[in-house]
Structure 1
């Protein structure tokens, strides 16, 4: 079936495949989602707990933010 005038795809099998840009080049969205849920990727397992900020001034807030960044780097979420 064709798209409706408002762009709705009525037959999912006829919908174009969605690709996602990855470090390995464009990949089908279904494959990317399967990788993420397989337990061997970015968000698998437990991460270090980072306490809520109780900063009362800019210097304390910067320190709390840097703690968060360090935890994200350790987890591999950012580099």
Structure 2
């Protein structure tokens, strides 16, 4: 799993998707590993495009807003 290749793929997908109202969906055969990385890298790029900087809390909040189950809570870890 090469983040540089994944980033290049995301940038290519974003260049093809010209409408800001359209959503890019990432999927992979073996679950969420590669698609999860693509999703987070895409969120990072979106945040950099909008604000020019990123923080861990900002990215975690953005990921949780779009896919709450992607980041476990203490309650879910205890169950």
Q: Give TM-score, length-normalised by structure 1.
A: 0.29
1 or 2, which has the higher strand percentage? 1
Asked which structure has the greater CA Rg, the reply is 1
Q: Which has the higher contact order (CA 8 A, sep 6+)?
A: 2
Q: Give TM-score, length-normalised by structure 2.
A: 0.29
